Amino acid sequence: MTLAGARERRVRTGGIELCVAELGDPGRPTVMLVHGYPDSKEVWSEVATRLAGRFHVVLYDVRGHGRSTVPMPLRGGFTLEKLTDDFLAVADAVSPGRPVHLVGHDWGSVQSWEFVTVRRTEGRIASFTSMSGPSLDHFGHWIRQRMSRPTPRRVGQLLGQGARSWYVYLLHTPVLPELAWRGPLGRRWPRILQRAERLPGGDYPTPSLPSDAAHGAWLYRDNVRSRLSHPRTDAYAHAPVQLITPLGDAFLSERLHDELERWAPQLTRRTLPAKHWIPRTRPDQVAGWITDFVTAVENGRPAPAARGRYADRFGGQLVLVTGAAGGIGRATALAFAEAGARVVAVDRDGEGAARTAAQARQGGAAAAWAETADVSDEQAMEKLAEKVATEYGVVDVLVNNAGIGLAGSFFDTTADDWRKVLDVNLWGVIHGCRLFGKQMADRGQGGHIVNIASAAAYLPSKTLPAYSTSKAAVLMLSECLRAELAARGIGVSAICPGLVNTNITSTARFTGVDASEEKRRQERAARWYGLRGYPPEKVADAVLRAVVRDLAVVPVTPEARGAHLMARFTPRALRAFGRMNLPL
């Protein structure tokens, strides 16, 4: 694997030569990417090419890896002090008059924590983005705190991380790791990694893997025991830090960073539902967060603007919400905006969508746009999907919310009534999932689909046959999609609100009655829902929580949760309840 268009140079330091690659305009801010173990600089290729249009991007093979030379003797050749010398040599060569923005993954992050906390690098680092690699000093203090003041929770954290660090113990054994990496493990590692991490492509890692991994074992031997047993007490970051935590990391617990604000006062947190190798599996999101953070630091505002409850999870992500002009759709769009997402508000009411987008921009959204589309119109949705992908990018979270209400007995519901409610409530969801879900799947970097169903999906009612059927279909569609898309890292959630105070009651149709009676029933339903007083903002919070926790089915209101339990355990009683006359 090569970095297309990269300019290479050799940098000498401490008796070795480092292979350095550069992309982008050297006159722009420099972003330096430091790889981990057992990788080489090519692990960053997907991220680097995405950053090169905005920044001067620098990558280098850590000593003993890739096309950099190997220190001799190996013992003592990989200390953090010598790695710091290497960093300064590269920084002086590629950006002599300007501090660099440092980005590290795995052991690249471990050593970068050293760079950003020692005095001799002050003024050379403008910012630091850390992924899947803690400071050994901070880790040492984390262990000491849990051992000096043990509680069941702290002991559990200590034992849990100890189990995750099994490979560290093996790498300290003499000779065995080198034999394994230069033998069967080195041959099988690419396939193991692709299967475990769902890595795209077949050309990763690089051909130098066996020797890289054998040499890199000394990163652990030269540093881990000495630093964990005697951690520095002055390991404070002297530059703004962005921490990106993949929540599915098999090697590092997110609890390792619980007290990180103590060591990094200017800290921005991000979380990602992914495994360890996010530079390969989530390059779009990683590059986006690096871009936002570096740009903010360059503009003198390192802290993120969004302060919502889930800002660490959704900051900068692209979220599309249908039916966003009012009710649950508008509340959901604004909740994602508060979390710092980029929001696309879609509705057939273009003016209403524009108002929601304007509110989203005022409420903390990184950006917000309004689009006019009828979700029941297949061609309109195809044009929308093409426009969104072209102008804004692939959607990270899709919320299929648009829906209409219809009440009346089965025999009073005409074929045309059925078509209208199914076209919006079911086909609108199908169009969204098919078009935007396909884009997520083709991108291969995960995502999440939220379909707004209803408690009516599992609560039979003689007054809501068409509406309940449409929502039951949405619920089953969501379950089927969840099963199919799990292998692609795409979550699917069905949200089942109950009686929520929105304008669906004032726009719902009632079959089998004249216009005046329909209006009377609409007003009565609206009063009933108003008295219930359950706000759409609570449903929006359930939507965000469902995405964060990857929940399958989420009954929201107390009555929705109660009906869900009855559907599972007392279905006969639920059917009897369905014979009652209920408001929409």
Which two structure tokens, joined as six digits, stand for 358? 């304007």
CB count in 10 Å sphere of residue 126: 20
Nearest to residue 354, comparing CAs of 341, 343, 369? 369
Concatenating the DSSP letter of every residue in 446-487 gives -EEEEEE--GGGTS--TT-HHHHHHHHHHHHHHHHHHHHHGG
Contacts of 452 by beta carbon, 8 Å cutoff, 6+ apart:
323, 328, 399, 400, 401, 403, 474, 495, 497, 543
CB 92 within 8 A of CB 84: no
SS3 222: helix
Concatenating the DSSP letter of every residue in 312-378 gives HHHTT-EEEEESTTSHHHHHHHHHHHHTT-EEEEEES-HHHHHHHHHHHHHTT-SEEEEEE--TT-H
Phi, psi (deg, nearest 5) at residue 38: -100, 45
Report which DSSP code applies to 183: T
Angstrom CA distances, 56 to 59, 212, 294, stand at 10, 26, 12
Separation of alpha carbons 462 and 466, rounded Å: 10
Q: Which residues are identified as catalytic? A: 467
Separation of alpha carbons 32 and 30, rounded Å: 6
